[in-house]
Amino acid sequence: MNELKRVITYGTFDLLHYGHINILRRAKALGDYLLVALSTDEFNLREKNKKCYFEYEKRKQLIEAIRYVDLVIPETCWEQKRRDIHDYHVDIFVMGDDWKGKFDFLREEGAEVFYFPRTPEISSTQIKDDLKE
């Protein structure tokens, strides 16, 4: 019997939009089981200097409601990616192409690494900027 092909992606997913859905749909299409490591509020503030509109638990509820997503786990530090690959038996790591090359080292952990192009006309930053006007 074949094992499930497991895919993981990471992100904040604040102000959820169709660009997020696109990356999750494409990530799920690469395998059978999609894990989303969702950045905690503390990690966003401490490491990304980013304050979320929606708190972690609300963002988690939104991501869990998306049919492509099988499991949501917290992302609490940059270094956890290596550990997650092993702990969750991940085969494929996916990120947006704005991170291109930054996570190639995960191939050494046995994961395939893919960088998907972002949906060009939408981003959470753009939404926030548009709402300020």
Known catalytic residues are 48, 50
Here the tokens at position 90 are 């991940």
**Residue 66, CA distances (Å) to 9, 16, 28, 71 in order:** 14, 11, 11, 10
**Exposed/middle/buried for 51, CB within 10 Å: 0-12, 13-18, 19+?**
exposed
Q: Which two tokens stand for residue 107?
A: 């191939």
Nearest to 128 by CA among 48, 26, 14, 49: 14
d(CA 1, CA 60): 32
